Amino acid sequence: MSTENSQNRHREIKSFVLRQGRLTAAQQSALQNHWQDYGIDYCEQLLDFKTLFDNDNEVILEIGFGNGESLLQQAITQPQYNFIGIEVHAPGVGHLIHEAQTRDVHNIRVIRHDAVEVLQQQIADASITQLQLFFPDPWHKKRHHKRRIMKPAFIELVNQKLKTGGFFHMATDWQHYAEQMLEEMDNSDRFRNISGQGNYSKTRGARCETKFERRGIRLGHGVWDLIYEKL
């Protein structure tokens, strides 16, 4: 086997496929003109939250925020927290920055990069009060399940970054993925299911309902929330 083939075989499997969607004029303008206000460039250096936000507020981090609708609403309704959103797709990042700037929301920052690498390199251990993973790609075909972000190594990484007593909040509209999340989290001795072993949350907590979610509910799709406390 060639060296190149060996490297490819051992390359880490990503939980996302990077798609280059078309940017609207507003999204492009936001990325060009307001990245310095809301964007965080990826680098292998820990972030200083106090310097980043100019305050000592607790930080909530969301992975894969899509177009940012839910995350922006949280930032508006919970001004006592600072929010960091991670998303790889430019249109969603541009949309969130545009909306935050338009609505004069300043307790939010965004990173356009692979979330696992951001957690590993830029987020200090025991530094965030809540980590959110809402509607991650379910990779519904069995042969693609290996791409799902929820796996023991990721759970341990979340454990490292959360403060003791912090929360890991997940949501999915794919039942099989919900069952996997529940099983893997309940098997972890690092977390406590706040709804009790084997139970999904009866509420969505502080998670804001999105247009995508409301459409799914009208079509009869289920939504499962799981909320765990770090021990």
Q: What is the residue extent of each domain of the chain?
A: 26-230
CATH architecture of 26-230: 3-Layer(aba) Sandwich (3.40)
Q: Is 48 a catalytic residue?
A: no
Residue linked to tokens 């000592």: 56
Active-site residue (options: 137, 173, 189, 225)? 137
In 3D space, the residue among 21, 23, 43 whose CA is nearest the CA of residue 32 turns out to be 23
Report d(CA 51, CA 154) in Å as an integer: 27
- CA-CA distance, 56 to 148, in Å (whole number)? 34
3-state helix/strand/coil string of 139-172: CCCHHHHHHCCCCHHHHHHHHHHEEEEEEEEEEE
- Give the separation between CA 209 and CA 69, rounded to whole angstroms: 9
CB 99 within 8 A of CB 34: no
Q: What is the pLDDT along the chain (231 residues), one digit of tens a residue?
A: 444 444 443 446 554 445 566 899 999 999 999 999 999 999 999 999 999 999 999 999 999 999 999 999 999 999 999 999 999 999 999 999 999 999 999 999 999 999 999 999 999 999 999 999 999 988 566 664 686 999 999 999 999 999 999 999 999 999 999 999 999 999 999 999 999 999 999 999 989 887 778 877 888 889 999 999 999
